[in-house]
Structure 1
Amino acid sequence: MSKPCDVKLKNYDISEEVGFLLEDPLEKLPEYFEPWNKLSSAMPELVLAGIFREEVKKIPELADGKLANNKELRLAHLQLSIIGSGYIWQDGDKGVPKMIPRCIAVPWYNVSKRLDIQPILSHPSFCLANCKKIDPERPLSLENMKSTYKVPGGDSCNWFCIVTGAVELEVANSLKPILTILNGVQNGDTEVVITNLQNLTSVIRQLKTVVSRMHDNLSSELFYNVIRPFLAGWGGEDSPMPDGLIYEGVENNKPIKALGGSAAQSTILQTIDAVLGIKHKDEKEKFLKLMRKYMLPKHRQFIEDIENLPRQLSEMVLTTYNDELKKVYNSCIESVTQFRSYHIQMVTKYIVIAASKQNSNKEFESLSKKGTGGTNLIPFLKGLRNDTKDTVK
């Protein structure tokens, strides 16, 4: 008798319609939090004017206990992360403060603890909680999407956010095939697995098409010199804050290290890796596991529960005599390899080549050719791709 797999989307705050994106996120917090509403909205202009830090110091310390529900917490984390990023990076590498004032630090830290994510501008906030319908009567799509909060970069920053959001939206199309594959594997239903591996492969190929839209309205120079610095983290030998950042009034003013926004903080590829049984070696696996701390807890649990299912797709393929199953599995692996290759091309254009140009922003030299998540980018990404390629059965 067939036994359904107990991985259900509703248990993980994942939507059939929009995937890992937050459905209909708030644009503003209640009136009590108006100082956060105003500062986070005005951050790009005030940073460019060089007066953002002074404005931050003027606001009162608000009680995060007044945030009433998950959507308010998600927006608060986004707003405080935008404010924190502007405060830290207003003057580039050379002018970074060692401490962020308690009026921001205390609620930022508390909200992060309540959500169980890190106190930094990261993918769950800047992308997942920041993509809103332009026309509420129409479905969410790249053409019907805006980012509510931005870092400096104007329309290009909006484009960066919504294309990233559109990739997440496309991933929603993979969820039904993924769940059906998991069920098929638990029940030994080869035909179901074959059909849905083909469906999953189609979605993964489409992801590349969506990512390629980034080229339409985002130049590598603007991304590298203007947007990317505000997604950086703190702590580590190459950081202008090697010991981390002091959040005033938090953890006895002991510096906290945090990694910046990174594609590795998206649940997408780690979920696909878990379904297909793609294993990464040594330091790469260690880094990807670390990135899960930057995901929402239910999203990271989704990956872990897939990894811990009693029967795994990779074992099914390894022990099968069905040539068609092996063929479609290997085709799916190949689509992931191609997607990772395309990601390397994007990173080469937007970071590596941009960093080598003479007009690259010298105010943020610490970022150079590293990822905002702190990795030496190209060797790391090539390693992930090679691990994927090696999974072929």
Structure 2
Amino acid sequence: MDSTQHPALPASLSEEAKANSEAWRNRLRELEVLPITDLKQSEVNLRRAHQVLTYLLHFYVHPLPPDGEIRIPVSISLPLLQVSAELQIPPVMTYGDDVMYNWTLKEPTADGVPTSNNLRSQASFTGAVDEEAFYLAPVRVELRGAEALRLMQNMLDDLSTGSADLRARITQTLKAMTTVIKDLKDALLSVREDCNPDFFYRSIRPWLVGADSDPAKRPWIFEGLERDPSLTAPTQLSGSSAAQSALIQALDIFLGIAKSGPVADASSTSISTPFAQRMRVYMPRRHRVFLEQLDEYGRVLREFVSGRKDAELAEAYNAAVTALKEFRDAHMIIITLYIIGPSKRVAREEAEAHGRDTGMEKELKGSAGGDLARLLKDFRERTTSALLP
């Protein structure tokens, strides 16, 4: 990795700043190991501990020299490994850490219910407005997505009980679902308002990646592992990714998209493929259980719609599927704007600086290690293939 991938330690950093950075790491190495006994009584406290520890972990690792060994001091590694074992998620930053559980209210309210315009981030690497905007856009997606989950439950209840007006009820609920999915797209695209693409690529994204995405393939060595015989060395350290959101996988499952056609590629993001299944490991455990239970209903809605041969019902179903395809189009716009475009500019700058061919292309990876363009293309194609004739 070069300095452009480590904005915390650019080539122009002064010797004094480098010394201060190393002095901070030395203080961290000297800290006592805090027990997690009291945290075990609260899932909320465990999640907060995982967030704080993974921010410290990534802040410690990513400014390190690119050619050295990566050893995580026991003051971070042992409590993080123990907290992660309790939560049953890997000891690395996840979507839960920088998005789902990284918000609070700007202003307190009587009921404590969050609204999209009353949110702020809790933790940040840069302190920039851009970073907060990058985190809060998907928070707003998740917040609006709660209504989609309610509509799913309503349809499952209706399908299980049956009624004389079942077709009409499912049709109307699917129309409501389409509206919600369109709102999800708008919330996702709102990141463009306050997050500069080049700043994101150069100064935010490098902090989020895990060991699995390190081109040098250097392992992260967690010191102090031997102090707790119940622990094992971590094998999955991908880093934060939007693919770790249970919401979109839930929509895929419920609309029958996951099982509507052949898998195009073993590394695609379709939920039946290894990449998507691997991303479930990073989800909160209750979200994983929810998806596993929802899997049992993966074709119920689609089979009901296709079996009724009702034009209005099929139109409502196809509108929901189309809205989800448009959400993926929006995701591709974001990926192109924030990763593909900046990465090409950085590659061109580096090539020109070193007198290399500027036309060389490289496979772009997400923070969790997936090939971005291919993954999202497969997502969109698979969603489109779910449309009923």
Which bracket does the TM-score occupy, shorter chain normalised?
Answer: 0.7 to 0.9
1:125 aligned partner: 97
What are the equivalent positions in structure 2 for 1:219-238 lying under 5 Å apart?
219-235=196-212
Are 1:205 and 2:178 counterparts? no
Using a 3 Å threshold, how does the CA distance of structure 1 residues 196 and 97 change in structure 2: closer, same or farther? farther
1:99/1:246 contact within 8 Å kept:
yes
What are the equivalent positions in structure 2 for 1:242-261 lying under 5 Å apart?
242=218, 244-250=219-225, 254=233, 256-261=235-240
TM-superposed CA distance for 1:161, in Å, is 1.4
Question: Partners of 1:82 and 1:354 in 2: how far apart?
Answer: 24
1:151/1:227 contact within 8 Å kept:
yes
Using a 3 Å threshold, how does the CA distance of structure 1 residues 72 and 382 change in structure 2: closer, same or farther? same
1:178 aligned partner: 152
Question: Partners of 2:187 and 2:324 in 1: how far apart?
Answer: 15
2:255/2:298 contact within 8 Å kept:
no
Unmatched segments (≥5 aa) in structure 2? 1-16, 351-361
Greater Rg by CA: 2
1:81/1:119 contact within 8 Å kept:
yes
SS of residue in 1 equivalent to 2:267: helix
TM-superposed CA distance for 1:260, in Å, is 1.3
Q: CA RMSD in A?
A: 2.4
1:54 aligned partner: 26
Using a 3 Å threshold, how does the CA distance of structure 1 residues 257 and 175 change in structure 2: closer, same or farther? closer
Question: Partners of 2:298 and 2:127 in 1: how far apart?
Answer: 47
**Aligned counterpart for 1:371 among listed residues 351, 360, 366:** 366
TM-superposed CA distance for 1:173, in Å, is 2.0
**Aligned counterpart for 2:57 among listed residues 84, 96, 104:** 84
Are 1:241 and 2:217 counterparts? yes
TM-superposed CA distance for 1:201, in Å, is 0.6
Are 1:142 and 2:77 counterparts? no
1:72-121 CA-to-partner distances (Å, cap 9, x unmatched) read 111100000000011110246x1564221111101101101101111111
* 2:45 aligned partner, one-letter code: E
1:383 aligned partner: 378
| Percentage of matched positions with identical amino acids | 27
1:161-191 CA-to-partner distances (Å, cap 9, x unmatched) read 1222111111122122111111222234222
**Aligned counterpart for 1:287 among listed residues 253, 264, 275:** 275
TM-superposed CA distance for 1:322, in Å, is 1.6
TM-superposed CA distance for 1:141, in Å, is 2.5
TM-score, normalised via structure 2 length: 0.82
TM-score, normalised via structure 1 length: 0.81
Question: Partners of 2:58 and 2:132 in 1: how far apart?
Answer: 17
How many pairs does the alignment contain? 341
Question: Partners of 1:324 and 1:117 in 2: how far apart?
Answer: 43
Question: Partners of 1:150 and 1:223 in 2: how far apart?
Answer: 13
Question: Partners of 1:173 and 1:166 in 2: how far apart?
Answer: 12
Are 1:109 and 2:66 counterparts? no
Unmatched segments (≥5 aa) in structure 1? 1-45
2:247 aligned partner: 268
TM-superposed CA distance for 1:360, in Å, is 8.3
Question: Partners of 1:197 and 1:132 in 2: how far apart?
Answer: 32
2:254/2:299 contact within 8 Å kept:
no
Question: Partners of 1:311 and 1:169 in 2: how far apart?
Answer: 26
